[in-house]
């Protein structure tokens, strides 16, 4: 396409530094970061074409009871919007496993169910409930639904598990005082260490039982993140890792060797990390969690090549996931087919702030996994709010569809507390779920074979976001909010795979204070090759080790398409915990104008005057532009919106507009723009070149 930089031109710029060479060499220069791009993300095993669960296979999911009854009985009270103390709980549980329920959900459009399998009590203890799962799998397969089995990765109920595995206490994470780390305040749920060979072998045993004996189509690894662990196993592994990654310890740490190094203490918040040992420790933990995923998922694929593998590493939530939970999406996501985004980012407008899962969807697309949203409305009596209105159901389904992820429901089969009744029995919610899933399924060919328009990329680099989180994330998230609400279509590019920049016309850097020399050189090559560059705030001031540069090679970049923006224009006063709120800065339109200036006339489409409506664009063979519009203010509509088309679509004269609620419309293109009628909730525009 004429708005993109050609591969030959791009890779030949800056003295012959190719992007692929630069991105692969970055890791060698980064010491502890060296493994980051050793595997190009395009080698993601989840991208291999599979009969079931491949990246392009249309899937529509439903929660189907993740816990066995013993989980509810042991914990008591209400968990996951399920009240086991209700007199009708058993009636609901029976209906959950019935063929009647399977037929109902298949009729609504669901073809993927996620149900209970291994909660951590032990395979022997849970066998009775697993047999019930096996029967549900038979019903599901009969009606065209695939089933994933819940597989707990972060808690073992020692009261039953030790009866099966008496030495399991040796597998457990330890705090600095040597005490077992537990799942939250549940003292009876011990957290296993991902470096424990015995625990990994047990997980492989569970995987084999699930796939070969229960008949599952895949596994859902829940809570597959890792707190800081201080067991002797982690202590020794860290020293070995340091030795392998830092052959000259005196240069970075002022130490002769790592023989006496101990695991550093952890704090409640990372802040800006200057301590080189702590920086290395964070990277070590993220790589260890990635290796755990590599190990168990490769085993699962050795048993069944078309297995669907879903993880839930509590991401994205708070801003310092690498420090708190050892999570860096590229390191573990590359091994998964799907990843949950479980948080409180329920789509909609809250006090002028747009709540969404868009960031999770963008990161998944960058790595190669697809996202399953299981988001909650906070503040209810149970702490986990469920949809109460049709438009809330629609937003959940349509947001996922618009951004290339897995539409579905985490609420439909949860009990109401009235006999065996479920939330889906509420007529208005059931009708909405069926209507929006039907619309998405009827138009799924618009997504099959389509690829996101690659024009604006925003960088996510490990060193800045892991070691300078409190400074970097508010600026990065604030800038992404400008992209969302400013009507831009955009994508994420991770520093792990800078070769992905090939094809983009504009790169945005926001608050990336820590960058390696070769990362900076790659960015510079992009700009010198004609790419637009937006530099917001402090970028490249420090190297990947946090050492301040005498001269920042990004500072002297200038040109018509290179724009520098003060951080105060983009920085957001974010509230990031379970729910991430990102209010726009008061001067956000200056950031939007800077991005537009850098992009120039190379954008395929931009939505104007629609700051409660998000846009997502895809191309099909360069001949059709598919534009998704999601109205987060539904049922209120935004009037006066206009879609500006790029020069590639100059020959287009009309646009088809598809709506779930209304008949198809034909819109006119006048002088390269389209006046958009009010969008009730979701619209798909199809532009023919």
CATH of the domain at 662: 2.60.40.1180
Do 391 and 243 reside in the same domain of the chain? yes
> What domain range includes position 624?
604-689
Is 632 part of a structural domain of the chain? Answer: yes
pLDDT for position 75: 85
pLDDT at residue 518 tops 80 = yes
What is the token pair recorded at 36? 């980051």
Do 527 and 616 reside in the same domain of the chain? no
Is 52 part of a structural domain of the chain? Answer: no
Do 241 and 216 reside in the same domain of the chain? yes
Do 418 and 478 reside in the same domain of the chain? no
pLDDT for position 46: 36
Do 415 and 488 reside in the same domain of the chain? no
* Cα-based distances in Å from 664 to 493, 506, 635, 661: 35, 34, 19, 10
CA 83/CA 101 separation, integer angstroms: 20
| 500 secondary structure, DSSP code | G
Is 501 part of a structural domain of the chain? Answer: yes
Q: Which residues contact 449 (CB under 8 A, 6 or more apart)?
A: 56, 620, 621
Rg (CA), the chain: 25
Do 431 and 464 reside in the same domain of the chain? no
pLDDT at residue 13 tops 60 = no
Is 150 part of a structural domain of the chain? Answer: yes
pLDDT for position 621: 85
Do 159 and 287 reside in the same domain of the chain? yes
pLDDT for position 17: 27
CATH of the domain at 276: 3.20.20.80
Do 590 and 611 reside in the same domain of the chain? no
Tell which of 416, 446, 476 closes a domain.
446
Q: What's the whole-number mean pLDDT along residues 26-34?
A: 35
Tell which of 554, 582, 602 closes a domain.
602
**Angle (CA) 463 468 469, round 5°:** 105
pLDDT at residue 436 tops 80 = yes
Q: How far is CA 670 from the centre of its chain?
A: 38
pLDDT for position 268: 76
pLDDT at residue 612 tops 60 = yes
Averaged confidence pLDDT in the chain = 89
CA 228/CA 96 separation, integer angstroms: 37
Tell which of 559, 575, 602 closes a domain.
602
CA 460/CA 319 separation, integer angstroms: 13
Nearest residue to 46 (alpha-carbon basis) of 315, 367, 373, 447: 367
At residue 322, φ and ψ (nearest 5 deg) are -60, -40
Per residue in 582-606, pLDDT (tens digit) is 999 999 999 999 999 999 999 999 9
pLDDT at residue 20 tops 50 = no
Whole-model pTM: value is: 0.91
Per residue in 210-232, pLDDT (tens digit) is 999 999 999 999 999 999 999 99
């Amino acid at each position: 396409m004429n708005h993109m930089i050609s591969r030959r031109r791009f890779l030949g710029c800056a003295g012959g530094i190719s992007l692929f060479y630069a991105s692969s060499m970055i890791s060698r220069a980064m010491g502890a970061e060296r493994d980051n791009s050793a595997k190009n993300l395009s080698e993601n095993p989840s991208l291999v074409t599979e009969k079931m669960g491949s990246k392009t296979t249309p899937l529509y999911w439903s929660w189907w009871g993740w816990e066995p009854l013993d989980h509810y009985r042991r914990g008591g009270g209400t968990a996951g919007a399920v009240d086991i103390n209700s007199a009708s709980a058993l009636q609901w549980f029976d209906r959950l496993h019935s063929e009647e329920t399977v037929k109902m959900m298949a009729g609504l459009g669901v073809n993927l169910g996620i149900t209970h399998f291994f909660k951590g009590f032990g395979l022997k203890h849970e066998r009775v409930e697993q047999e019930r799962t096996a029967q549900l799998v038979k019903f599901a397969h009969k009606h065209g639904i695939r089933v994933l089995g819940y597989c707990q990765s972060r808690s073992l109920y020692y009261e039953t598990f030790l009866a099966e595995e008496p030495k399991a206490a040796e597998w457990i994470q330890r705090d600095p005082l040597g005490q077992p780390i537990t799942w939250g305040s549940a003292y009876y749920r011990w957290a296993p260490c991902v470096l424990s060979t015995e625990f990994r072998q047990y997980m492989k045993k569970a995987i084999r039982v699930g796939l070969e004996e229960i008949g599952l189509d895949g596994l859902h690894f829940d809570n597959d993140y890792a707190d800081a662990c201080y067991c002797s196993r982690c202590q020794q592994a860290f020293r070995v890792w340091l030795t392998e990654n830092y052959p000259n310890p005196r240069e970075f740490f002022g130490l002769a060797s790592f023989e006496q190094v101990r695991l550093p203490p952890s704090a409640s918040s990372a802040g800006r990390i200057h301590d080189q040992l702590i920086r290395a420790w964070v990277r070590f933990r993220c790589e260890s969690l990635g290796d755990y995923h590599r190990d168990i998922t490769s085993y699962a694929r050795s048993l069944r090549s078309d297995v669907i593998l879903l993880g839930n590493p509590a991401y994205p939530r708070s801003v310092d996931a690498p420090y708190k939970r050892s999570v860096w999406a590229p390191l573990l996501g590359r091994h998964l087919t799907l990843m949950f985004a479980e948080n409180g980012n329920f789509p909609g407008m809250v006090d002028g702030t747009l709540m969404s899962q868009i960031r999770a969807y963008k990161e998944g697309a960058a790595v190669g996994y697809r996202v399953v949203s299981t988001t909650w409305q906070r503040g209810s009596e149970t702490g986990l709010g469920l949809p109460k209105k049709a438009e809330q159901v629609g937003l959940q389904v349509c947001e996922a569809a618009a951004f290339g992820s897995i539409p579905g429901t985490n609420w439909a089969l949860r009990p109401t507390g009235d006999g065996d009744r479920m939330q889906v029995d509420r007529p208005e919610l059931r009708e909405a779920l069926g209507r929006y899933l039907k619309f998405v399924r009827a138009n799924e060919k618009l997504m099959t074979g389509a690829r996101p328009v690659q024009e604006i990329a925003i960088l996510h680099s490990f060193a800045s976001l892991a070691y300078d989180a409190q400074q970097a994330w508010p600026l990065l998230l604030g800038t992404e909010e400008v992209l969302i609400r400013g009507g831009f279509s955009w994508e994420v590019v991770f520093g792990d795979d800078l070769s992905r920049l090939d094809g983009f016309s504009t790169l945005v850097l926001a608050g990336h204070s820590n960058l390696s020399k070769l990362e900076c050189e790659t960015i510079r090559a992009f700009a010198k090759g004609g790419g637009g560059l937006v530099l917001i705030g402090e970028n490249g001031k420090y190297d990947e080790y946090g050492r301040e540069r005498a001269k920042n090679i990004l500072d002297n970049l200038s040109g018509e398409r290179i724009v520098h923006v003060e951080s105060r224009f983009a920085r957001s006063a974010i509230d990031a915990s379970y729910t991430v709120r990102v209010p726009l800065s008061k001067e956000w339109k200056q950031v939007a104008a800077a991005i537009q200036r850098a992009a120039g006339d190379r954008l395929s489409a931009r939505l104007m005057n629609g700051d409660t409506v998000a846009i997502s664009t895809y191309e099909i063979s360069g001949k059709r532009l598919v534009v998704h519009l999601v109205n987060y203010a539904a049922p209120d509509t935004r009037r006066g919106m206009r879609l500006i088309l790029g020069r590639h679509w100059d020959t287009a004269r009309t646009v088809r507009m598809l709506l779930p609620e209304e008949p198809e419309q034909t819109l006119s293109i006048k002088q390269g723009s389209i006046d958009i009628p009010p969008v009730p909730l979701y619209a798909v525009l199809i532009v023919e070149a």
